[in-house]
Structure 1
Amino acid sequence: MGDSGYGRWVAGKRSKWITLAVWVIIVGVLSAIWPMVNSEVQNNAANLDGAKPSVQAERIAEEQFSSDAGVPALLVWHREGGLKDDDLQHVQKVYAGWSANPVPYQDSVPPFHQMPAAALKAMLSEDQSTLVTPVLFEKSADSDQLKEGVEQLKSGITHETGQDPFAASHNSGSDLSVRVTGPVGISIDATGLFKNADFKLLMSTVILVLVILLLIYRSPILALIPLIAVGFAYGAVSPLLGLMAQKGWITVDSQAVSIMTVLLFGAGTDYCLFLISHFRHLLKEEESKTRALLRAVTESSGAIAMSGFTVVLSLLALLLAKYGAYHRFAVPFSVSILVMVIASLTLVPALLAIFGRTSFFPFVPRTPEMEEERARKKGKPVPARKPKHPGFASRLVVRRPWMIVIVTVIVLGALASVSSQVKFTYDIMSSFPKDMASREGFDTIGKQFSPGELAPVKIMVDTEGKTDGLGQKLKELSYVDEVSKGQPGSQNANIIAYDVTLDMNPYSSEAMDQIPHLRSTAEQALQAARVGSPADKVWISGQTAEQYDTRETGDRDTMVIIPVVIGMITLLLLVYLRSITATVYLILTVILSYFSALGLGWLIIHYGLGADAIQGAIPLYSFVFLVALGEDYNIFMISSIWKKRKHMPLKQAIQEGVSETGSVITSAGLILAGTFAVLASLPIQVLVQFGIITAAGVLLDTFIVRPFLVPAITALLGRFAFWPSSHSEAENTKAGMPS
């Protein structure tokens, strides 16, 4: 890939305009003929496949115990000090109205308006402060349609009560408050969170990247070049993924689109900066901007392509996941990075060729001779040539490598040890803001009634017509609050179903831990009744069982994908570096950095933000991103050291390599960490936690692993760092270098 080849094809005198025109045509045509990805999202796609026990149980429940009843919206009526008779009359009047004039997509409502006041009072909580009433909606209604119906419910209640009980405080004050929760309320709130997040996330990310670039490079044109490249890449990626989703080749959800946007701006800007930084450096050596750019393209493209390929393959490993949400991330993320790398290697060189040195205005980089000539023309004193001095980090790593390794390993190891304390949750409600209506209503039901009433566990057994005694055995369990009477199946009367109300939050890890015990209890009951093959005749459905399968599937995916990602990156590094030693210590440092990030993230999330646990999906998400993106910086720095050591002593190559790549990797790391940190501004806890942990990992890579630990290990190993490749020590090219 010489100066006269690839570089001239994309950034030559005429080809630079052709490259820009090709990108404009591609983005324009794709956007015109294919749908944008945001219009093809599916937020209700299944995460568990049909082979999972809870999915099979749900199928049995639909076949044998299906109900014509719709999906419930639970209205939680609450007044501190107790609901008044007037409040109960309001309840009866609005239900009478909905019975006569249903709201959009309403299926049915209970006849509360026909009940005597005493019967309604009997439904109140023990302290008389809370009443829960359902409104059933059509099963076929989507979240937008459900929202339309719920808005009508709210309007009717507000009109009837003469106030807005949905705006009243739900936990303090003496006013009547109402919250909508249950499956309908949760669905509406979950969809609303992501709908509101997209535009805010995009704008916040663009502004953050622009501000950081302006602060670091102080050039408005240069700050815009990476953003233009990312914009073109997004313009191509969005319709490409939109077509795939429209054809049914992939499924995309709002969460994937949100993280993909951050990934494009963060990683995409990094790839642009790797090239821009090298171009800026060469402009101080080459008078010809064309020659400088062609050299920059030639010398940087290998590391950029290798870094991007590493990330693409790592993200594609998510295709091995059995859990739907993980699997759905693979194609959007990998395609977006692939397109961004292509843009970095084609569009960015073309833009730099078009703007030339003006890209860096007002701080235009020039050769010393050009600076002297410029000073003479202006009649100013010729500036003295300043010798280059290596930075603090680059001097320290070659003079005190043992100290650096010991200190950094102790710091990172201490943070990594904290990762063993991390607690996980699979509770969807914990990912909502605490003041969100559906969560407030859910919490109130949990406090005032048995929390298990929100999502009972349905246990179904095929008794083969024999007496199983399971109902009594279930009632004797310490964690069970209530057990319904056994109900025979509509198609097979030998299948008996029991609705079990737990005395704990049905979405909690403690509740999930009881699923195996409930299964074994049912199997023992069938075995005692002499039913053959009891293991095949027990089915458990419900939210708790589904979350148990989610946890088991996620654990399986983590055990499969992490080794695959490590293996692929190891293989790529071996091919690129041709050094077993270097590959091993680069992989080990990134893994150490990941566990350190998990520990540091837990300290921030648990002790700083007060969260009791992090979402169970976070470790795998963070691992794939941190290991792949963290290796980017190592590849870029090591590439510089590897090239320099061919014509200078290794320690000098390390010192100059660290010094030369330090500023660009620092700025790239700040931008990448900043873009992930933007996720923490969203009201979605899973994205907040993912953003914090990933940003922490990127900062650890940027300020500890890359500038100190990796070069210090390289200095300690000396020529063994290249094993089995050979290394012949070159002569010093500078005086005063440590030997």
Structure 2
Amino acid sequence: MNGLARIANAVSGKRGRWITLVLWIVIVGLASVLLPSSSDHKDDAAANLESSAPSVQADALNDHNGIPAIIAWHRTSGLTDEDIGRIQALSKKLADDPLPHQTELPPLHEMPLPALKAMVSEDGTTMLQTVVFDKNASSDELKISLEQLQADGDTIFTTKPFDTALEDEGLVGRITGPAGIGVDATSLFKGADVSLLIATTLLVLIILLLIYRSPILALIPLVAVGFAYGLTGPILGWMADEGWISYDSQGLSIMTVLLFGAGTDYCLFLIARFRSVLTTESDKKQALLKALSDSGGAITMSGLTVVMSLLALLLAQYGAIHRFAVPFSLSILIMMIASVTLVPALLAILGRASFYPFVPRTPEMQAARAARKNKPLPAPQTKPGFGIRLGEAIVKRPKTIAIATLIVLGITAAFSAQIKFTYDTLSSFPEDMPSREGFTLIGEHFSEGSLAKVQVLVQTDGKDYPLDQKLGELANISDVSDPVANTRNANIVSYNVELAMNPYSIEALDMIPVIRSAAEQSLTDAGITDASDKVWIAGATAEQYDTRHVTNADAYRIIPVIIGMIALLLLIYLRSFIAMLYLMGTVLLSYFSALGIGWLVLHHMFGAEAIQGLIPLYAFVFLVALGEDYNIFMVSSIWKKSKTMPLNKAIVEGVAQTGGVITSAGVILAGTFAVLATLPIQVLVQFGTVTAIGVLLDTFIVRSFLVPALTVWIGKWVFWPSKQGRTAAAAEEKN
């Protein structure tokens, strides 16, 4: 008796099923009581860049490196003297009674009215006010400060400018800048995991009811996922409390979707097989043992594939990616364990009633039931089902189907080359977010570059260099400040460089190496050696530039590792080098096709000019790992059947046996990822859209047509170099 058989025997017995259920209840209950909640230990202020990143090193040297909040004051008809006077009153209020974590405040209240009017935009409608906060303040702490700032403003102004719409004629106030953007970014994810939990639960329940029309069956996967979710959260909270890991709101949000989508899939793999066996086996325990024996290996293999792929994210140097690894992999591991222990126990307790009112019965049971009710037996189905017809069509024309699907996927994959990327945080915000509206005001009435200036720090050793002149000669630079001495190191001076563009745009990021090169060249021309070691660049643009560099490096590091691990697991499970090659190839092609179609949808239907730079890596991890799940489940069925029947017949029956459950699982998984597209967070909208498209491609194109067609086309060589190829060849000759 193998390991899965022993587990199945233990959890499906008369006592074992109840012991298993009680153990899960006790374990989850104790974890919830004794361990801290995951939501209490999420860290939305965790650093994404390591201390070795150039922008982080520059930020450490910069003594003017607080977090500025920029208040954009605007009146469509033009700011009045009364408006400016009240802005001064707010400045005095902040000077006399500083906000929490406030470190700097330009003294607008001490400046004469003419000087303040000179700070107003040329059209007279807009003025900027800056408040600088401690660079170590968290997003939650900054949020409290900005809320207090708005409350102070409400007491000074006759109207509530922070609540006034941009199109209104009254005075409008919007808080933007790094502080405002950071607070808005965090607030978007606050509570997202709760709303996603509710939305995904309802969606999965509705889809299961529509597909299987059984209320009990619809609840079984949700109960299992609920237990897994209830155990994962406290374990994550405990690990974070011990300081072993960190995670953020975004990670918890995606983890919820992953757990419900993939977790339901694993449950359905077992449930579908159990229902099928119940039509030929009268003893429910024996049926459950056979069902778990047939599907347990595929469930375990699928789960391990996803877990190992997600653990590869630990190799990432970018914090947001690195922090995904443990929550995602742990949730899938726990769900996989629940699928082969808790779900069989629930099925053993409920038995055939799990499928009420469409209870599966053996022919003998149907005859006995008909006799008791004095009703004739239902006529046996003579027409082959859709799955059989599909399998037979694939076996009949494998080359045509394979080539046609390869052409379709290849054409759509080609569109992925057209994707434009962005690292602009603001572009992921809804257009009515305060920080984005404030940025729009600055861009329309001042220079976009004034929102976040680039700080160039240079070690001059007390010498005077015309660096400001050199930088001012560069294209796309609108202003360079006079040098400012560093209060902590007299040998370092800094320049504030204002870009003539959106400081978060790709064009702005490309300016960072240009600025660095110009600064280094200026020092070199002055006879300074090792100029590259004496120039540092800080600021939001430099940080985004480092983000692009680090995440690209992470992708080049992680993607090959994931491909290698999945390939190795496939080799171990299938013992076929050929099968491993074409299964990996089909999933990779499907991934690029999903990117291509996703770009067409996001660009032409959603109006996105570019997608977030992290989307390809995020989508790759999920699509390749989850897409391989469906291949594994179907191919494992074909492999088992080919031991006792010709390969082509095994393919027909394998497609028929797994088609319905994989289609159901794919629809549910795609639906749960599509829920992300309902959130007001563009990075999740884009990720959810691309991933949902990829899952549907894997479900309806790759699994339904391409993989079985390639298997037929390749023939007995699909098993090479395992002995099963010779077994299949012998079966073909016998028949």
**For this structure pair, what is the TM-score category when the shorter chain's length is used for normalisation?**
over 0.9
8 and 584 in structure 1: CA distance in 2 versus 1, 3 angstrom threshold: same
Q: Which of the numbers 462, 468, 484 marks the counterpart of 2:481? A: 484
The whole-number CA distance in structure 1 between the counterparts of 2:492 and 2:173 is 39
* Structure 1 residue matching 2:536: 3-state secondary structure: strand
- Give 1:137-216 correspondences, 5 Å limit: 137-170=133-166, 172-216=167-211
- Matched residue, 1:31: 32
Structure 1 window deviating more from structure 2 (527-536 vs 82-91): it is: 82-91
Q: Which whole-Å deviations, capped at 9, do the CAs of 1:105-144 have from their partners, x for residues lacking one?
A: 5445443333332222111111111111123444454333
561 and 488 in structure 1: CA distance in 2 versus 1, 3 angstrom threshold: same
1:92 aligns with 2:88: yes
Q: Which of the numbers 129, 135, 155 marks the counterpart of 1:133? A: 129
- Matched residue, 2:414: 417
Q: Which whole-Å deviations, capped at 9, do the CAs of 1:528-559 have from their partners, x for residues lacking one?
A: 11111112111111111111111011111111
Q: Which whole-Å deviations, capped at 9, do the CAs of 1:232-274 have from their partners, x for residues lacking one?
A: 1111111111111111111111111111111110000000000
* Structure 1 residue matching 2:320: 3-state secondary structure: helix
- Matched residue, 2:366: 371
* Structure 2 residue matching 1:335: 3-state secondary structure: helix
Q: Which of the numbers 694, 700, 703 marks the counterpart of 1:703? A: 700
Deviation at 1:30, TM superposition (A): 1.1
- Matched residue, 1:239: 234
Deviation at 1:493, TM superposition (A): 2.9
Q: Which whole-Å deviations, capped at 9, do the CAs of 1:430-452 have from their partners, x for residues lacking one?
A: 11111100111012112211111
537 and 146 in structure 1: CA distance in 2 versus 1, 3 angstrom threshold: closer
1:312 aligns with 2:312: no
Deviation at 1:14, TM superposition (A): 0.8
The whole-number CA distance in structure 2 between the counterparts of 1:648 and 1:723 is 18
Q: Which whole-Å deviations, capped at 9, do the CAs of 1:359-391 have from their partners, x for residues lacking one?
A: 000111111221121111101112222246142
Structure 1 window deviating more from structure 2 (661-670 vs 105-114): it is: 105-114
1:83 aligns with 2:79: yes
Deviation at 1:90, TM superposition (A): 2.6
Q: Which whole-Å deviations, capped at 9, do the CAs of 1:447-490 have from their partners, x for residues lacking one?
A: 21111111111112223444432221111111111111122333
Structure 1 window deviating more from structure 2 (126-135 vs 381-390): it is: 381-390
2:39 and 2:237 in contact (8 A); partners too:
yes
2:45 and 2:138 in contact (8 A); partners too:
no
Deviation at 1:156, TM superposition (A): 3.2
Letter of the aligned partner of 2:146 in structure 1?
V
The whole-number CA distance in structure 2 between the counterparts of 1:322 and 1:104 is 32
Q: Which of the numbers 672, 686, 697 marks the counterpart of 2:683? A: 686
The whole-number CA distance in structure 2 between the counterparts of 1:138 and 1:544 is 19
Q: Which whole-Å deviations, capped at 9, do the CAs of 1:574-602 have from their partners, x for residues lacking one?
A: 11111111110000000000000001111
TM-align CA RMSD: 1.8
2:5 and 2:292 in contact (8 A); partners too:
no
Deviation at 1:145, TM superposition (A): 3.1
Deviation at 1:71, TM superposition (A): 3.4
1:311 and 1:629 in contact (8 A); partners too:
yes
Question: TM-score, normalised to structure 2's length?
Answer: 0.96
1:297 aligns with 2:292: yes
- Give 1:144-543 correspondences, 5 Å limit: 144-170=140-166, 172-387=167-382, 389-391=384-386, 392-543=389-540
The whole-number CA distance in structure 1 between the counterparts of 2:578 and 2:173 is 64
390 and 654 in structure 1: CA distance in 2 versus 1, 3 angstrom threshold: farther
- Give 1:553-564 correspondences, 5 Å limit: 553-564=550-561
Q: Which whole-Å deviations, capped at 9, do the CAs of 1:32-63 have from their partners, x for residues lacking one?
A: 111011110001111111111111111222xx
* Structure 1 residue matching 2:475: 3-state secondary structure: coil
The whole-number CA distance in structure 2 between the counterparts of 1:227 and 1:703 is 24
Question: TM-score, normalised to structure 1's length?
Answer: 0.96
The whole-number CA distance in structure 1 between the counterparts of 2:485 and 2:503 is 24
Q: Which whole-Å deviations, capped at 9, do the CAs of 1:653-674 have from their partners, x for residues lacking one?
A: 1111001100100000011101
* Structure 1 residue matching 2:128: 3-state secondary structure: strand
2:7 and 2:341 in contact (8 A); partners too:
no
* Structure 1 residue matching 2:379: 3-state secondary structure: coil
721 and 732 in structure 1: CA distance in 2 versus 1, 3 angstrom threshold: closer
Structure 1 window deviating more from structure 2 (319-328 vs 204-213): it is: 319-328
Structure 1 window deviating more from structure 2 (410-419 vs 111-120): it is: 111-120
* Structure 2 residue matching 1:5: 3-state secondary structure: helix
2:647 and 2:732 in contact (8 A); partners too:
no
* Structure 2 residue matching 1:514: 3-state secondary structure: helix
The answer for unaligned runs of 5 or more in structure 1 is none
- Give 1:51-90 correspondences, 5 Å limit: 51-61=52-62, 65-66=63-64, 71-90=67-86
The whole-number CA distance in structure 2 between the counterparts of 1:477 and 1:60 is 25
Letter of the aligned partner of 1:497 in structure 2?
S
1:205 and 1:265 in contact (8 A); partners too:
yes
The answer for unaligned runs of 5 or more in structure 2 is none
Letter of the aligned partner of 2:645 in structure 1?
M
The whole-number CA distance in structure 2 between the counterparts of 1:438 and 1:341 is 42
1:601 and 1:696 in contact (8 A); partners too:
yes
* Structure 2 residue matching 1:513: 3-state secondary structure: helix
- Give 1:720-739 correspondences, 5 Å limit: 720-725=717-722, 726-727=725-726, 728-729=728-729
1:283 and 1:366 in contact (8 A); partners too:
yes
635 and 29 in structure 1: CA distance in 2 versus 1, 3 angstrom threshold: same
Identical amino acids, percent of aligned pairs: 59
The whole-number CA distance in structure 2 between the counterparts of 1:361 and 1:486 is 78
Q: Which of the numbers 540, 543, 565 marks the counterpart of 1:546? A: 543
Letter of the aligned partner of 1:78 in structure 2?
H
* Structure 1 residue matching 2:323: 3-state secondary structure: helix
Deviation at 1:92, TM superposition (A): 2.5
The whole-number CA distance in structure 1 between the counterparts of 2:564 and 2:663 is 27
700 and 477 in structure 1: CA distance in 2 versus 1, 3 angstrom threshold: same
Letter of the aligned partner of 1:151 in structure 2?
E
2:67 and 2:133 in contact (8 A); partners too:
yes
1:652 and 1:732 in contact (8 A); partners too:
no
The whole-number CA distance in structure 2 between the counterparts of 1:667 and 1:465 is 71
95 and 55 in structure 1: CA distance in 2 versus 1, 3 angstrom threshold: closer
Q: Which whole-Å deviations, capped at 9, do the CAs of 1:174-233 have from their partners, x for residues lacking one?
A: 222111112221222112111131211110010000000100111111101101101111
The whole-number CA distance in structure 2 between the counterparts of 1:188 and 1:299 is 51
The whole-number CA distance in structure 2 between the counterparts of 1:703 and 1:354 is 34
The whole-number CA distance in structure 2 between the counterparts of 1:457 and 1:231 is 48
Q: Which of the numbers 595, 615, 627 marks the counterpart of 2:624? A: 627
- Matched residue, 2:569: 572
The whole-number CA distance in structure 2 between the counterparts of 1:5 and 1:58 is 58
The whole-number CA distance in structure 2 between the counterparts of 1:540 and 1:608 is 38
Q: Which whole-Å deviations, capped at 9, do the CAs of 1:337-365 have from their partners, x for residues lacking one?
A: 11110000100000000000000001111
1:18 aligns with 2:19: yes
1:588 aligns with 2:585: yes
2:677 and 2:689 in contact (8 A); partners too:
yes
525 and 135 in structure 1: CA distance in 2 versus 1, 3 angstrom threshold: closer
